[in-house]
Structure 1
């Protein structure tokens, strides 16, 4: 693939054995993923699955009244399109690009053929799916029981784990849509985090200036999601010699175990 972005920057692709990767590699297509682009709509037939590298994809559930909220995010730790190998070729969610960047796409039938070999790819994808379901479940719990301020901390940290820097280009309106709350609630929560010195916010742009502060302030949901991704996927990457696990280093006031660089697997 020449000097293009290395597909192994996506941690699921990096976890594949050489034999499986070599079968898929000729079919991987590098694509630009632009902010706001929709990869698929609710109920749409999946033609491709996507392995983000520098892009982040938000999975939204749409209501009949036009409202929506994010049920999960996918970055370089995973893939978009799990319903393909979970028994259906359509999905009830919409996949929209939250952070522009690049990724690889693969024709759906090719991944399905590999999955149906019932070998290492099947086991890896099912473990990833379990971790993604954990993220969806924890998001639902968080949105029901925790403050908008805590939800915003969780969302910011999970987004940062999928990025190389601390700067996010995003509007309060988009964050409100992600969390399924009123824009005024996001404005108030972002203002508090800025007053605490955790973030710097100006119109359409957020810079995290004190990540440790966010980690202290966030609810336990963030730690639960990170721990599950690490538990299910880090040993796979370690066996391939492609991942050096970082120790869990911070026990915050919430009692949740955080990690400095478990973001090595994207979350």
Structure 2
């Protein structure tokens, strides 16, 4: 057996016999900053289950017009396309915050998923939650003011990082939000002036999470609620994370 406990939610909530199907293939791996996990138009070789850090899914078109359409942390996995039978990445996926995790070869994961309807169902439900996250990113990109989009992104990062400090630069936020760096700087100044955050060099400190949620005007709540509904994990009443990691199901 690879290990008895996991910080990754999907691995942790699997029943033991389901998890054993994958553990033979698991490899612990460091996930340094900017490490590519998927490359657009290229075959998906591994599915990654982060245990710390954040991966960002970035949609890209000509002339550097990139925008983040999904975040993956310890609550999820990369390679959702493989669950649907595809082996080609539609978008870029890389580490926006360094961490570590485990990876499984796509061929092995698909083989074991075909043997376990329960495992397949879990991954499909997670893929649905990722879809909801992407659709609300798209909605907010069109309908929300920039400060609301920025607040939503900071909250989604905050869900996936222990404590109240996010190691994010203005440039990283600019890439994720698909805007120029000065726009991010101005937006951070607005949120800081409202007492919601504190922006330091290379990091953002969340000062008032509840008011920051209200600042999104509904852009944050639905994806978080859908994750809880689909995966069956309740929100943690204490601390900064929407994910409560309970004991493994046996």
Length-normalised TM-score, structure 1: 0.86
Please report how far the alpha carbon of residue 106 of structure 1 lies from its aligned counterpart in structure 2 after TM superposition: 0.6
Residues 4-53 of structure 1 deviation map (CA, whole Å, 9 limit, x = unaligned): 8x652111111211111112112211111111111121111111000001
Please report how far the alpha carbon of residue 154 of structure 1 lies from its aligned counterpart in structure 2 after TM superposition: 0.5
User: Is it true that 1:228 corresponds to 2:226 in the alignment?
Assistant: yes
Given candidates 129, 143, 164, the residue that maps to 1:145 is 143
Aligned length: 245
CA distance in 2, matches of 1:26, 1:39: 21
Q: Tell me which residue corresponds to 1:262.
A: 242
Q: Tell me which residue corresponds to 2:17.
A: 19
> Quick check: 1:48–1:105 contact (8 Å CA) kept in 2?
yes
User: Is it true that 1:47 corresponds to 2:48 in the alignment?
Assistant: no
Bigger mean CA offset, 44-53 vs 14-23:
14-23
- Taking a change above 3 Å as real, the CA distance of residues 112 and 73 of structure 1, as seen in their structure-2 partners, is same
Given candidates 88, 102, 105, the residue that maps to 1:104 is 102
Q: Tell me which residue corresponds to 1:127.
A: 125
- Taking a change above 3 Å as real, the CA distance of residues 177 and 246 of structure 1, as seen in their structure-2 partners, is closer
Please report how far the alpha carbon of residue 127 of structure 1 lies from its aligned counterpart in structure 2 after TM superposition: 0.6
RMSD: 2.0
Please report how far the alpha carbon of residue 261 of structure 1 lies from its aligned counterpart in structure 2 after TM superposition: 5.0
CA distance in 1, matches of 2:110, 2:214: 42
Bigger mean CA offset, 224-233 vs 39-48:
39-48
User: Is it true that 1:159 corresponds to 2:169 in the alignment?
Assistant: no
> Quick check: 1:246–1:260 contact (8 Å CA) kept in 2?
no
CA distance in 1, matches of 2:31, 2:144: 32
- Taking a change above 3 Å as real, the CA distance of residues 260 and 96 of structure 1, as seen in their structure-2 partners, is closer
Q: 1 or 2 for the larger relative contact order (CA 8 Å, sep ≥6)?
A: 2
Given candidates 189, 201, 204, the residue that maps to 2:202 is 204
Q: Tell me which residue corresponds to 2:182.
A: 184
Q: Tell me which residue corresponds to 2:248.
A: none
Unaligned runs of 5+ in 1: 238-244, 250-258
Residues 171-211 of structure 1 deviation map (CA, whole Å, 9 limit, x = unaligned): 11110110112222211110011111111112221111221
- Taking a change above 3 Å as real, the CA distance of residues 11 and 124 of structure 1, as seen in their structure-2 partners, is same
- Taking a change above 3 Å as real, the CA distance of residues 183 and 50 of structure 1, as seen in their structure-2 partners, is same
CA distance in 1, matches of 2:9, 2:121: 15
Please report how far the alpha carbon of residue 218 of structure 1 lies from its aligned counterpart in structure 2 after TM superposition: 1.7
Unaligned runs of 5+ in 2: 246-250
Q: Tell me which residue corresponds to 1:70.
A: 68
> Quick check: 2:29–2:102 contact (8 Å CA) kept in 1?
yes
